[in-house]
């Protein structure tokens, strides 16, 4: 999104234009929902948290100074919301948990095959610490660069890369036998 358009959209939202805020939600909902759903792995909880993000965006818009890009500011809010949600007890899933095998396979799943391995990957990701889950979720979404993540998480670029590599190292160890 161009900086000029972004500023104009923010200004319209600040003036109380509901259409502008709806446009903002429509533009960012896919990204916000995908990030959160990949981090918390529970669709209804993810929807609640994604709505929380937009509620915070709405409240915070009058104070948004435009020093960072709107998307970066929104990532930061997503990160905060996910960190606050960390206090909730996570479901303790083993990689062989039968409850997790009931997901209906999508066409792309069938195309790439090996449903069970995908299932185990999701469960392995759920067992990562929340900061690792967030970087893994965000990095593999189209358009999210290391730099965006570093700015959103207020971490040096090198730390983000290190966290991502460590997260993948832990995943590889958890899935060692499956990946061979």
Partner 1 sequence: MFCDEALDAVEAIAAGDLTPDGRVAEHLTTCPNCAAALVSARALERMLRVRSIPKPPAQFTTRTLARVRRARWRSEQFLDVGFNVAIAAVVLIVIAGIWMLLNRSGLVAVSNDVVDLFGSSLVAFARRVGPSLPLYAAATALLATALGIWWWAERDATY
Q: Give the span between the Cα atoms of 70 and 20, in whole angstroms.
A: 14
| DSSP states of 100-122 | GGGPPPPHHHHHH--HHHHHHHH
Report the C-alpha gap between 91 and 94 in whole angstroms. Answer: 10
By CB under 8 A, residue 112 contacts partner 1? yes
Tokens of 95: 């990689």
- Going 114 to 120 to 121 to 123, the CA torsion angle's sign is positive
Which span sits near partner 1 by CB under 8 A: 2-10, 29-37, 80-88, 148-156? 29-37
Asked if 11 touches partner 1 (CB under 8 A), the answer is: no
The residue (of 33 and 73) whose beta carbon lies closer to partner 1 is 33
64 belongs to the binding site for partner 1 (CB under 8 A): no
Taking CB under 8 A as the criterion, the residue among 1, 5, 7, 47 binding partner 1 is: 47
Q: How far apart are the first and last CA of the chain?
A: 41
Measuring CA to CA, how many Å separate 169 from each of 25, 28, 64, 83? 35, 30, 37, 22
50 binding partner 1? (CB under 8 A)? yes
Binding segment (CB under 8 A) for partner 1, from list 4-12, 75-83, 149-157, 170-178:
170-178
Which of residues 67 and 104 has its CB atom nearest to partner 1 in the complex?
A: 104
**By CB under 8 A, is residue 135 in contact with partner 1?**
no
Using only C-alpha atoms, what is the Rg of the chain? 18
Q: Which residues bind partner 1 (CB under 8 A)?
A: 16, 18, 21-22, 25-26, 29-30, 33-34, 37-38, 43, 46-47, 50-51, 54-55, 58-59, 106, 108-109, 112, 117-118, 121, 136, 140-141, 161, 164-165, 168-169, 171-172, 175-176, 179-180
């Amino acid at each position: 999104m161009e900086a000029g358009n972004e500023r104009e959209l923010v200004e319209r939202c600040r003036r109380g234009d509901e259409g502008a805020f709806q446009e903002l939600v429509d533009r960012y909902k896919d990204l916000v929902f995908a990030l959160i759903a990949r981090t918390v792995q529970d669709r209804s909880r993810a929807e609640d948290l994604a709505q929380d993000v937009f509620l915070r965006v709405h409240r915070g818009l009058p104070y948004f100074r435009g020093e960072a890009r709107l998307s970066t500011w929104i990532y930061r809010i997503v990160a905060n919301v996910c960190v606050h949600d960390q206090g909730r007890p996570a479901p303790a899933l083993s990689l062989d948990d039968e409850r997790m095998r009931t997901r209906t396979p999508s066409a792309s799943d069938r195309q790439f095959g090996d449903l069970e391995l995908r299932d185990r990957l999701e469960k392995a990701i759920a067992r990562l610490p929340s900061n690792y889950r967030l970087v893994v979720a965000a990095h593999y979404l189209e358009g999210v660069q290391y730099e965006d993540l570093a700015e959103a998480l207020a971490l040096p670029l090198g730390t983000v890369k290190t966290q991502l590599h460590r997260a993948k190292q832990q995943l590889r160890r958890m899935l060692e036998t499956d990946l061979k």
